[in-house]
Structure formats: C-alpha cells, structure tokens
Amino acid sequence: MIVRLLLFAVARDIVGCNSLEIELPGVPNIGAVRAELVRSHPRLAPLEKYLMFSVNARYAGDDQLVRADDEIACLPPASGG
Amino acid sequence: MIVRLLLFAVARDIVGCNSLEIELPGVPNIGAVRAELVRSHPRLAPLEKYLMFSVNARYAGDDQLVRADDEIACLPPASGG
Amino acid sequence: MVELTLEPIRPADVLTRVHSTSAGAEVLFVGTAREFTGGRRTALLHYECYEKMAIVRLQELEAEARQRWNLIGCEIVHRFGTLQPGEASVAIAVSSPHRQEAFQAAQWLIDTLKEVVPIWKQEQWSDGSSQWVHPGMPPT
Amino acid sequence: MVELTLEPIRPADVLTRVHSTSAGAEVLFVGTAREFTGGRRTALLHYECYEKMAIVRLQELEAEARQRWNLIGCEIVHRFGTLQPGEASVAIAVSSPHRQEAFQAAQWLIDTLKEVVPIWKQEQWSDGSSQWVHPGMPPT
C-alpha cells in the first residue's frame, strides 16, 4: 500500500520536501510509517522519538492502522504561541 | 485639638458631608478619632469595625497619633476594580 | 505608569503603552461594569476615589509588581465618576519576556488593587435605588 | 471563534470581539516575537502550520475552555508566515462574569495551544542562520 505523508518544520527540511509517498506491505500502522520514514531518511533517526504523527488531522499512536486515502502527517514538537 | 476628617462612600452618605471637624482632648490617636466619629454619628456604629483610617494618605492603625495638620480619612472597605 | 481618570478608558491604548520588542508576552486585564448582578439590572455605576491616596497606592502596586516580576511595561488606569454598563472601570496591562510573569503580575495587580486602593463603587439599579459596595460589610 | 491568518494581528480587535455587558472581566494575552533571545538578535520569525489540523485543534481548545470555565467570549487568533520582531504571533481574548475564570482560561489556552496545536516557529537570526524551535528535541 502506498501512503502519502505530510512533513513539517525540521522534518520537512531534513527530508527536503513537503510530502512523501511511502510504500508499505499489508495493512500498515503508524509505527510502520514511522519506521519506514526513518529507514529511508536516516538523518531523522536522532529525532525519531520526538516525532508525532497524525491521521486525518488527529494525533495518532503507533498502533493506529492507516488506509490508503488517509491524510498522514509527521509532526515535530510544536512551537506555536 | 481639632482634626479634619475626610469621609467617603457609605460613611459620607451616613454622616451627610464630605468632611468633618472633630474636637478631641490631648494628643489623640486614630482610635480616639474613630470613637468620637461613632459617638457623634451613632448610625455608623454597626459599621465601626469595618472602617479603616488613613493619615496623610497612608493606612493607619488605632495607635497612630494625629497632629492638627494631618489629613485624616475614614475609609470603608474598598470596591474598586 | 498609573492613572485615575474621569474619561472613558481605551483598553487598546493601555495595551499599546506596554508594547516592546523585548517582551514576549503582553497581558491586558479589563474590568467592566456588568449590566446584571444576580438578576438585578444596573442602570449606572458610580466610582468614587480618595484621589490623592489612590494614586500613591497605585504607584506602590506598580513598584511592588516590578520588584516581584521581571516586567517591561506596567500600566494601571482606573476610571472614576459615572459609568454605563459595559464600560471599562479599570485596565491593567503588563509586558514581560515570558508569559507566566505577565499573567501572575496582572492577576496580582487587580487582586491587590481591589483590596488596598481607596476606590468605591456604587451600584445604581434600574429601579432607582442605589447601594455602595463594601465587601464584607453588612448592608446599611 | 478561532482563526489562522497571514495578516498582522490587531489585538484590540480581538479584545473587542469578546466584549459584552454580561462580562465583568476581559483578559487578553498577546504573544509577540522577541527581538533578543539569550543575547542573539532575531531578524525575522517564520511560523508554519498544518492548517487543517491546527484549526481543528484550536476549535477543540475553545470548546474545552468553554466547558471548564464560564466564558462569554473566547477568541484565538494565530498568525503564520513571516513576522518582524515585536509583531503579535498570537492573541487570545476571553471574557467572563468574574476575573478568576477569565485569567485561568486565558492562561490554560495559551499553555495548551503551545503543546498541542501543530504550529512551528523558525528563528531567523540576524547573522543569517535559521533554526526551527522544537521544544525538548536535540538541535539538528
């Protein structure tokens, strides 16, 4: 399955683009998206544990399953305000 | 000694004027001013323990001595803000 | 800066006076005259002050707030005279590098102002009666 | 109401939107871009947001604040894009019958916004370098 992943802030700068398409086997969960993102972009490894993810604009844990049409985003720690 | 006493809010309404001249024997303190004020205006008696006093724009306790040229004021509980 | 005024307070102007590029946070508190209190309608509010003493006490509040917190700007404006419901009776603005200090200072300033600054409010109810507000004191 | 905007925030307008004769207290918080942070000068600040999610989260913050406190008005405006030092990045205004609720709600809103709303700040220093601010994360 191919999932599209939005990237923000330092994660976007490191990867070098606003969004990525990631191919994953079976019915992937967010943990698999995270692992594949870091595997394909090793410079994200030191940040991995700080990165949060969302599915369809809601924070999502590693166990959450994703579908092909979900909007998935990788969110570094927020600094608004 | 004659001292001049400024009155505010409900105390002014009860006494019926903005300021009073009060005659006191010897070297009076604020306690004597308070007592004479209530003696001459008995309708203030139920409020007596809530009335604060100032001398020259500073809160003053009953022990504080007053001089003839001091500006003394009787201050009901504040409700600004 | 502190100010007692008979003129309407413009809260936006009070806020502007604490603006600084050194500040990261500005907090503005505005106290307004409520129209309804426990179901009774207020027609007008009258504020009286012992002006000479009130100014001194307000200046002391500003000085103490500046000692306790790292403030850049600190402005307190209190109105007196007759107010319509909805008008501002007091505006307090502070600015600080960090927001916690600004919030704490603003809240301490209004809490303490209400206790120690010789200003008094009289409710003038829509039924024509009026009443001085003296917290803690039995009604007369 | 919540809003994300590329235009400069006018804090006075945000305050006006919470005004009500039912309120006794209005609290406005304004977060501004500081010019100096630990001695380094900020030339510009850039705010990025995941707009769709940020709006939803801001709406949830308003709803939760209204559940927790008795608020009359509640307005949150966050700017994004490029800001000059001194410009407002966020303005939060609340009004309430009593001041404690207004202070608590305003402080909770800005504290929680900073944690959960997907908005990111990038410092663009006067020496030409730039740096994303990601609290708790080691520098990259």
Residue of B nearest to C109 (CA): B81
Q: What is the pLDDT of residues A16-59, one digit of tens each?
A: 999 999 999 999 999 999 999 999 999 999 999 999 999 999 99
What's the CATH fold of domain A2-75?
Ubiquitin-like (UB roll) (3.10.20)
Query: How far is residue D100's CA from residue D49's CA, in Å, rounded to a whole number?
Result: 31
Q: Would you call A47 and D135 a contact, using CB atoms and an 8 Å cutoff?
A: no
B16 three-state secondary structure: coil
> In the block, which residue shows the tokens 């959960």?
D116
Query: Which of D49, D80, D68 shows the shortest CA–CA distance to D107?
Result: D68
Phi/psi of residue C121, nearest 5 degrees: -110, 135
Subunit partners of chain A (3 or more CB pairs within 8 A): D
Q: Kindly indicate the confidence band of residue D139, based on its pLDDT and cuts at 50, 70 and 90.
A: confident
ipTM: 0.94
Query: What are the Cα distances from residue C136, in Å, to A38, A45, C50, D91?
Result: 65, 63, 20, 36
Query: Domains (ranges, CATH) in chain C?
Result: 2-133 (3.90.1170.40)
Check if the beta carbon of residue B37 is closer than 8 Å to that of residue B20.
Answer: yes
Q: Which residues are within 8 A (CB) of C79 and not within 5 positions of it... i.e. 6 or more apart?
A: C4, C5, C6, C7, C8, C9, C47, C87, C88, C89, C90
Mean pLDDT of chain B: 96
Segment C25-33 mean pLDDT: 97
Subunit partners of chain D (3 or more CB pairs within 8 A): A, C
Q: Would you call B47 and C140 a contact, using CB atoms and an 8 Å cutoff?
A: yes
Q: Which residues are within 8 A (CB) of D129 and not within 5 positions of it... i.e. 6 or more apart?
A: none
Segment D75-85 mean pLDDT: 97
Query: What are the Cα distances from residue C98, in Å, to A44, C10, C69, C76?
Result: 31, 25, 10, 20
- The kind and range of the H/E element at A2 are strand A2-7
| Distance of residue B66 Cα from the nearest chain C Cα, in angstroms | 17
B72 three-state secondary structure: strand
Any contact of B with A, at least 3 CB pairs below 8 A? no
User: How far is C-alpha C24 from the geometric centre of its chain's CA atoms?
Assistant: 23
Q: Would you call C106 and D107 a contact, using CB atoms and an 8 Å cutoff?
A: no
